[in-house]
Structure 1
Amino acid sequence: MKAQNSKYIILLCLCLFVNISAFSQKKSISITIDDVPNTRKYQKENFEPTLLNVLDSLKIPFTIFINEAKIFNNEFKKENKELLELWIQNQNSIVGNHSYSHVRYSAVGYDKFVQDIEEGEKLTKEYASNYNKEVKYFRFPFNDMGADSSQHVEIRAYLKSKDYVIAPFTVESSDWMFNYVYLHYLNNGKIDKAAAIGEQYVEKTLELLSFYESMANSIYKRPVKHIYLCHDNAINTDYIGEIITRVEKENYEIVSFEESLTDTIYAQEDIYYKKWGISWLYRWMETQDERIKWMKQEPNLSEINQLYKEIVENN
């Protein structure tokens, strides 16, 4: 009887240990923002850094990936430089390079792409050094790392030689497409339709996060430290606060990009050698069949995709 009781006690302790371990692996996500600074939006909003103000109010860490060409796309170069400096000096920001003009690597080739990388770090590094910050992360425009393995290997070697770390992501929700439709409705005075698109963006973002969380749990048997990719645009200015609130209600902690990168999953080799900008959760998969299996299960974005196509065609 004593031996049997001892077995029950051991089993109970094991169950408690498993439950405590699972509970202790808290879910987390970091926020990364591409195509900073949005200077056209800045001009239209009377030179108010509205998205930056929202992020400040949320008191969360975030990482920005900068396209310096945006500084020079209108006559307000002085104001645009001031906006860039505001983003960089912010105490909650980590700073990264996103190339100068957001060119697609597989289209322009190695030499032109390297030139664009180096052109895109001049002001950024100058301002960052003024605030004791480094610029050590690089995110590929379109997350296009090359058309084939040769291009992938060549550009990775260059970035390594320059001490750049390639910036991954695990979750994105096509915010650029939602934003295009959102602005179309706002610009045409269709406020209710714009609001509906904003709410749809929030819901789809949460659905996609849940999907990628389930995928990661299935593959790695634990929560992973997710990285969310979005952009400096109007829909995030108006809805990123709601997304953060909802994400936190789902028991996620908003952490820094550097904290996310401490997860051992990011030490895995990226073995996807095509140009498409898919999640790193797919890039680490050993076969295309496995990728396709999971991609078929993704939440459906066909409704917003169809709206986007119709608006583009009509314009």
Structure 2
Amino acid sequence: MKRILTGVAAVLALVAFGAKAEPFKVAITVDDLPAHGSPVPGHSREEVARDYLAALKAHKVPGVYGFINAVALEREPGTKAVLKLWRDAGYPLGNHTYTHMNINTGGLTAFEGDIEKNEPVLKELMAGQDWRVLRFPFLNAGTDPALHKGIMDYLATKGYRIADVTISFNDWAYTETYNRCLTKGDAATIDAMKVQYMQGVKASIARSTYGSQKLYGRQISHVLLIHEGAFTALMLPQVLSEFEAEGATFVSLDEAQGDPVYSAVSAHRGEGLLIERQAREKGADIWAGAPADVDIANLDTLCR
């Protein structure tokens, strides 16, 4: 079970962990375009997207893949403008399945159909460019070996690459809480959420760079998974500044996944976080003494 730290204790633990890691590269990737979570009170989807893109551009982040669930275009037809804003900014789009399907519950045939149902929008908006990049929803790539082999064979036949992940700080968990707090006008709770959120960012950087050094003896090129939610858009300038302060250089997904760890033989490709997965596959216990995660269990109780 993971050791959980919150508040001042989390910050002190990270300070005690020591100096920042050696410089590292990181690709930023964004899931759940064009509409992550519930509509945001007082903010349109386009406003959220514009804030997001402004932060990425201000920090000169290259080649940010936005992974889409095109079902949102049925539910909120105006959200296609978000995808056009993304493309106008020069950023690519990839496949996150049409409905954000969990392959473990949907099964192979339905999952393949959900991938294909997403493709017409990708073909339209990515004309002439490679859109065959898949991010597995929930980072689930088929727990059952036969299911995993089936989807790997399918993706290979279709020419898809997999967008793996090494860093995630559970930004998705703040989305609905933020919406509730906005509705209530609870600025004090939102301010507390900002503090906790950044503790999670710091912890995720420390944990991922620690794991990389322990497993590979170096800093690999990392891939960060975040979501296009309103709270993440609000915090993104601070998040990107924190990564830079910790020694990160932003690169494209293609450059990051040019690191040989992403092409290493794996029986569970695409499943979970890359470093954790490869540590399990190697039978390596790399987490003794590692920085702890930050507890997010409180978020579901806030602004009720």
TM-score bracket for the superposition, by shorter chain length: 0.7 to 0.9
Deviation at 1:58, TM superposition (A): 2.9
Following the alignment from structure 1 to structure 2, what is the Cα–Cα distance between the partners of residues 35 and 165? 18
Following the alignment from structure 1 to structure 2, what is the Cα–Cα distance between the partners of residues 301 and 263? 28
Deviation at 1:301, TM superposition (A): 2.8
Deviation at 1:298, TM superposition (A): 5.2
Q: For residue 282 of structure 1, what is the amino acid of its counterpart?
A: E
Following the alignment from structure 2 to structure 1, what is the Cα–Cα distance between the partners of residues 136 and 25? 24
Following the alignment from structure 2 to structure 1, what is the Cα–Cα distance between the partners of residues 144 and 41? 40
Secondary structure of the residue aligned to 1:284 is helix
- The residue that corresponds to 2:53 in the other structure is 52
- The residue that corresponds to 2:155 in the other structure is 159
Q: Given the alignment of the two structures, is residue 310 of structure 1 paired with residue 301 of structure 2, yes or no?
A: yes
Deviation at 1:59, TM superposition (A): 2.5
Q: Given the alignment of the two structures, is residue 95 of structure 1 paired with residue 87 of structure 2, yes or no?
A: no
Q: For residue 121 of structure 2, what is the amino acid of its counterpart?
A: L
Tell me which protein shows more helix as a share of its residues: 1
Mean Cα displacement is larger for which, 100-109 or 180-189?
Answer: 180-189
**Structure 1 residues 43 and 301 mapped into 2: Cα distance closer, same or farther (>3 Å)?**
closer
Question: Would the aligned equivalents of 2:141 and 2:268 in 1 still touch at CA under 8 Å?
Answer: no
> Paired residues, what number?
278
- The residue that corresponds to 1:73 in the other structure is 75
Q: Given the alignment of the two structures, is residue 187 of structure 1 paired with residue 187 of structure 2, yes or no?
A: no
Q: For residue 227 of structure 1, what is the amino acid of its counterpart?
A: V
Deviation at 1:182, TM superposition (A): 2.8
Q: For residue 310 of structure 1, what is the amino acid of its counterpart?
A: T
Deviation at 1:246, TM superposition (A): 1.3
Cα deviation 1:271-299 (Å, max 9, x = unaligned): 348x9x521111112458646x6289452
- The residue that corresponds to 1:30 in the other structure is 27
- The residue that corresponds to 1:11 in the other structure is none
- The residue that corresponds to 1:140 in the other structure is 136
**Structure 1 residues 271 and 210 mapped into 2: Cα distance closer, same or farther (>3 Å)?**
same
Question: Would the aligned equivalents of 2:221 and 2:257 in 1 still touch at CA under 8 Å?
Answer: yes
Secondary structure of the residue aligned to 1:269 is coil
Question: Would the aligned equivalents of 1:271 and 1:285 in 2 still touch at CA under 8 Å?
Answer: no
**Structure 1 residues 221 and 147 mapped into 2: Cα distance closer, same or farther (>3 Å)?**
closer
Residue 277 of structure 2 is aligned with which of 278, 283, 286?
A: 283
Q: For residue 70 of structure 1, what is the amino acid of its counterpart?
A: A
Following the alignment from structure 1 to structure 2, what is the Cα–Cα distance between the partners of residues 172 and 165? 20
**Structure 1 residues 134 and 142 mapped into 2: Cα distance closer, same or farther (>3 Å)?**
same
**Structure 1 residues 146 and 118 mapped into 2: Cα distance closer, same or farther (>3 Å)?**
same
Unaligned runs of 5+ in 1: 1-24
- Give the TM-score normalised by the residue count of structure 2: 0.83
Question: Would the aligned equivalents of 1:182 and 1:198 in 2 still touch at CA under 8 Å?
Answer: no
Q: For residue 84 of structure 1, what is the amino acid of its counterpart?
A: L
**Would you identify which runs of 4 or more consecutive aligned residues in structure 1 move more than 6 Å?**
none
- The residue that corresponds to 1:168 in the other structure is 164
- The residue that corresponds to 1:86 in the other structure is 85
Deviation at 1:41, TM superposition (A): 4.2
- The residue that corresponds to 1:300 in the other structure is 293
Unaligned runs of 5+ in 2: 1-21
Larger Rg: 1
- Give the TM-score normalised by the residue count of structure 1: 0.81
Structure with greater contact order relative to length (CA < 8 Å, sep ≥ 6)? 2
- The residue that corresponds to 2:11 in the other structure is none
**Structure 1 residues 205 and 145 mapped into 2: Cα distance closer, same or farther (>3 Å)?**
same
Following the alignment from structure 1 to structure 2, what is the Cα–Cα distance between the partners of residues 137 and 90? 19
Secondary structure of the residue aligned to 2:225 is strand
Question: Would the aligned equivalents of 1:183 and 1:194 in 2 still touch at CA under 8 Å?
Answer: no
Question: Would the aligned equivalents of 2:211 and 2:290 in 1 still touch at CA under 8 Å?
Answer: no
**Structure 1 residues 68 and 247 mapped into 2: Cα distance closer, same or farther (>3 Å)?**
same
Q: For residue 283 of structure 1, what is the amino acid of its counterpart?
A: R
**Structure 1 residues 71 and 298 mapped into 2: Cα distance closer, same or farther (>3 Å)?**
farther
